[in-house]
Amino acid sequence: MNFKMPGKVYRTAMSPLAASHMLIAAGTEDVQVRLCDIASGAISQTLSGHRDGIMTVEWSTSSEWILVTGGCDGAIRFWDIRRAGCFRVLDQSQSQLGRRPPLLKRKSLSAGQNSSVKPRAPQKRSANGNGVRQSSVGRIPAKGSVRQRLHPGMLSSQDRATAHYGAVTGLKVTEDGMYLLSAGSDSRIRLWDVESGRNTLVNFETVRLQTSKPIQLATTQDPAVVFVPCMTAVKAFDIWSGKTCLTFRGHYEHVNCCCFSSQDQELYTGGNDRQILVWCPSRLISDGVDAGPMQDQDNWSD
């Protein structure tokens, strides 16, 4: 099957949750994101909004309909592919402090409330007195004021918001779908709260990132650690503090991508040296497990 693109392809992605569609999202030199349908063999949709090429695309891990894209214009946009236009543009100047409790923890807290008082979801009042519920990512907003009905991506003041000073070169949604990690040609890594769309202000230690090519990030399932290709090395950062946990050195040229297997607890990295390296925790070696072609295991300890 062959899909013709208008220019160099930077990144492709398929949804890990998709049950209703067979779409490949493709980011290219062109300003439009293209959705290639495997079922029909044709490009079924184009998403317009970026002002420059799209370097990275990433599907949500909580909804099969939500796509996140990062462009050379420094913007990160959220799309619901069932609707026209993007519904959110991240703004690095909009920030919040603190970490949200996990979803399961929040449910248990709600269940532990006084049973005599029935909890009610907070509502905003519109001008005509009707209650309007706050909508989460991927849900269609309820009727209310004109400003609430409009997609944030359609508002001129928010449409030009940027997430990085330069191109967005990498995106990764955490396994629980609550946070988004982004990397940019400004050599910055940012952690975003998906529900609010705000920058969490985690200060990741200074790194050197590639500026002209996209990179692929990886996270552990917790999530607690993010793996980031940093020139000829891969660095592991604590997601909540931004501090460097480990550094993986073994490639002779720039590293472009990494992937973490939560089942095998292994990290796979690929670089311009045409090598794919497999990294495993040192405890697997000490326990006498055959490491096969593993390289540089001493750099990784559990």
Contact 187, 209 (CB under 8 A): yes
Residue 128 is predicted with a pLDDT of 43
pLDDT in tens, 178-194: 999 999 999 999 999 99
223 preceded by a cis bond (ω within 30 of 0) = yes
Asked if pLDDT for residue 301 goes beyond 80, the answer is: no
Residue 212 confidence class, pLDDT cut points 50, 70, 90: confident
* Section 62-68 average pLDDT: 94
* Section 162-173 average pLDDT: 94
Contact 11, 5 (CB under 8 A): no
Asked if pLDDT for residue 46 goes beyond 90, the answer is: yes
Asked if pLDDT for residue 145 goes beyond 60, the answer is: no
Name the more confident of 116 and 221: 221
Asked if pLDDT for residue 149 goes beyond 50, the answer is: no
Asked if pLDDT for residue 225 goes beyond 70, the answer is: yes
Name the more confident of 154 and 209: 209
* Section 265-274 average pLDDT: 94
* Section 235-263 average pLDDT: 94
What is the token pair recorded at 27? 């980011």
Residue 171 is predicted with a pLDDT of 96
pLDDT in tens, 79-121: 999 998 899 999 998 888 767 666 545 444 444 444 444 444 4
Find the distance separating the first CA and the last CA of the chain, reported in whole Å.
43
Residue 263 is predicted with a pLDDT of 87
Asked if pLDDT for residue 196 goes beyond 70, the answer is: yes
Whole-angstrom Cα distance, residue 274 to residue 37? 30
Radius of gyration of the chain (CA): 21
Whole-angstrom Cα distance, residue 176 to residue 60? 10
Asked if pLDDT for residue 300 goes beyond 50, the answer is: yes
Asked if pLDDT for residue 218 goes beyond 80, the answer is: yes
With CA atoms as reference, report the closest residue to 217 among 179, 160, 253: 179
Q: One-letter amino acid identity for 180? A: L
Residue 207 is predicted with a pLDDT of 85
Angle value at C-alpha 259, between 258 and 264, nearest 5 degrees: 135
Residue 125 confidence class, pLDDT cut points 50, 70, 90: very low
Contacts 24+ apart (CB under 8 A), 26-32: 26/57, 27/53, 27/54, 27/55, 27/56, 27/57, 27/69, 27/70, 27/71, 27/214, 28/53, 28/54, 29/53, 30/5, 30/6, 30/54, 31/71
Whole-angstrom Cα distance, residue 53 to residue 68? 14
Whole-angstrom Cα distance, residue 166 to residue 72? 7
- Residue-averaged pLDDT of the chain: 80
What is the token pair recorded at 199? 């920058």
Residue 72 is predicted with a pLDDT of 94
Asked if pLDDT for residue 132 goes beyond 50, the answer is: no
CB atoms within 10 A of CB 116: 5
Of 29-38, 139-148, 208-217, least confident by mean pLDDT is 139-148
With CA atoms as reference, report the closest residue to 137 among 35, 36, 205, 59: 59
